[in-house]
Amino acid sequence: MNRPSHRPSGGALVLFSAGQDSTTCLAWALERFDRVETVGFAYGQRHAVELTQRPVVLAGLRGLSPVWDARLGADTVVDLAAFGALSDSALTADRAIEMQANDLPSTFVPGRNLVFLTFAAALAYRRGLETLVGGMCETDFSGYPDCRRATLDAMQQALTLGLDAPMAVETPLMALSKAQTWALADTLGGPALTALIAEATHTCYRGDRVARHAWGYGCGACPACDLRAGGWTAWTAGGARA
């Protein structure tokens, strides 16, 4: 495939939500790419806390390493309110967080990653970035079908064909447990990075930024908090290596 002349560098665009997973992915990308940008999506989340935390996390990462600071470029937040309005799920509407009859949690927003990746690819193309990085994980999460590597392989092919340009989709957490994700962060940035992730990133579905646990802020009861707390406990017990 010809490489269009307007894509001079092979930098990365990280799908960044200010959560534990995407922050770890961002650190991973900052170690590997000379130029890294971030993109986030506002789609009517019940809790805008992840949008308020993103500049905090980005500033924290810049402060950890002059190399990362030099490599980290623009942050873009894309307004996808129209998509949020289509998605009658517990993240965007006033519904309980529970398992549904189809074995997917009510937090599932149908096709979310497909939409995000398409918008991200359009931005990456314009910015001359050839790799998308996302925190999708199929090991211990809730069975979201658009987090499966097979789905992302198909998206990578569709984006590359549809843009007629290279567009890799990297998912460094795909095979990792939540404990191994903490361990990966420790490998990438040591205790300073794991402390930043615990303090500044947000995972809780209920948007709780009041209750502080060893693993960070959260209600401590929703599925996202359960995963984060369980991973932290397993990692600090010494059972996980990235």
Q: In the complex, which residues of this chain contact Zn ion (CB under 5 A)?
A: 204, 206, 218-219, 222, 225
Q: Cβ 219 to Zn ion, closest distance in Å?
A: 3
Instruction: Considering the complex, state which of residue 72 and residue 204 has its C-beta at the smaller distance from Zn ion.
Output: 204
Enumerate residues 6+ apart whose C-beta is below 8 A from 68.
27, 30, 61, 62
Q: Cβ 213 to Zn ion, closest distance in Å?
A: 10
Q: Cβ 13 to Zn ion, closest distance in Å?
A: 28
Instruction: Considering the complex, state which of residue 166 and residue 220 has its C-beta at the smaller distance from Zn ion.
Output: 220
Q: Cβ 14 to Zn ion, closest distance in Å?
A: 24
Instruction: Considering the complex, state which of residue 210 and residue 237 has its C-beta at the smaller distance from Zn ion.
Output: 210
Instruction: Show the tokens assigned to 157.
Output: 């092919």
Q: How far apart are CA 205 and CA 207, in angstroms?
A: 6
Instruction: Considering the complex, state which of residue 87 and residue 203 has its C-beta at the smaller distance from Zn ion.
Output: 203
Element of type H or E holding 147: none
- 231 SS3 class: helix
Report the alpha-carbon angle 88-80-224, nearest 5: 55
Q: How far apart are CA 13 and CA 82, in angstroms?
A: 23
Q: Cβ 241 to Zn ion, closest distance in Å?
A: 27
Instruction: Considering the complex, state which of residue 49 and residue 158 has its C-beta at the smaller distance from Zn ion.
Output: 49
Q: How far apart are CA 225 and CA 231, in angstroms?
A: 10
